[in-house]
């Protein structure tokens, strides 16, 4: 087992176009939505909101300045696609994309990654919940059964999204 949890996920979820996932391959469970030769996306273990998704490189890099040009292009291509997929599945059309570099910048896992964080409307129940970022904010424990269902819905929507993209734009 690697000391990097994202590297563990990458080692246990090889690149696949089937968009299927067995979340029990690692501990704690990983709910993988995307697994390509260069990038991965999976649900955050301590989400700021339902659907909080992490997009990362398969290969270990500490910071965004360490990724290759090819990895950077692929990350850039997946972020808008996954944002659309997440919005379609959650029904939340406002979100943040955040990327932290280094401990002083609130990077908790030292493996480059982007957060796609849905921002639901502030209902009376949510008014007291903090949605701040950069290492601060109220995070909640992920419910594994809800995460499994959400990840399955995200994979299904992603498969549909990929069919809608002309061949010349697919990675």
User: Measured between alpha carbons, how far is 31 from 23 in angstroms, rounded to an integer?
Assistant: 5
Q: 23, 52, 111, 113: which is the annotated catalytic residue? A: 113
Report field, pTM of the whole predicted structure over 0.85: yes
pLDDT tens track for 1-37: 579 999 999 999 999 876 566 777 788 889 999 999 9
pLDDT tens track for 102-156: 999 999 999 999 999 999 887 666 555 555 554 445 667 788 999 999 999 999 9
b/e per residue, 102-117, with b = 16+ CB within 10 A? eeeeebeebbbbbbbb
Q: Which residues, including other chains, have CB under 8 Å from residue 9's CB and lie 6 or more apart?
A: 26, 30, 32, 40, 42
* 8 A C-beta contact, residue 12 and residue 146: no
Catalytic residue check, 113: yes
């Amino acid at each position: 087992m690697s000391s990097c949890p994202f590297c563990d996920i990458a080692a246990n979820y090889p690149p696949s176009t089937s968009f299927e996932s067995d979340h029990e391959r690692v501990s704690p469970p990983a709910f993988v939505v995307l697994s390509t030769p260069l990038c991965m996306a999976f649900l955050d273990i301590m989400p700021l909101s339902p659907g909080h998704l992490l997009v990362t490189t398969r290969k270990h890099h500490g910071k965004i300045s360490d990724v290759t040009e090819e990895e950077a292009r692929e990350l850039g291509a997946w972020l808008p696609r996954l944002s659309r997929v997440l919005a379609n599945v959650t029904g939340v059309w406002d979100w943040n994309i955040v990327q932290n570099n280094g401990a002083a910048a609130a990077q908790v896992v030292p493996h480059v990654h982007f957060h796609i964080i849905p921002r639901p409307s502030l209902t009376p129940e949510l008014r007291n919940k903090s949605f701040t970022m950069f290492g601060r904010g109220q995070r909640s424990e992920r419910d594994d059964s809800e995460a499994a269902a959400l990840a399955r819905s995200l994979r299904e929507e992603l498969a549909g999204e990929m069919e809608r993209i002309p061949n010349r734009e697919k990675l």
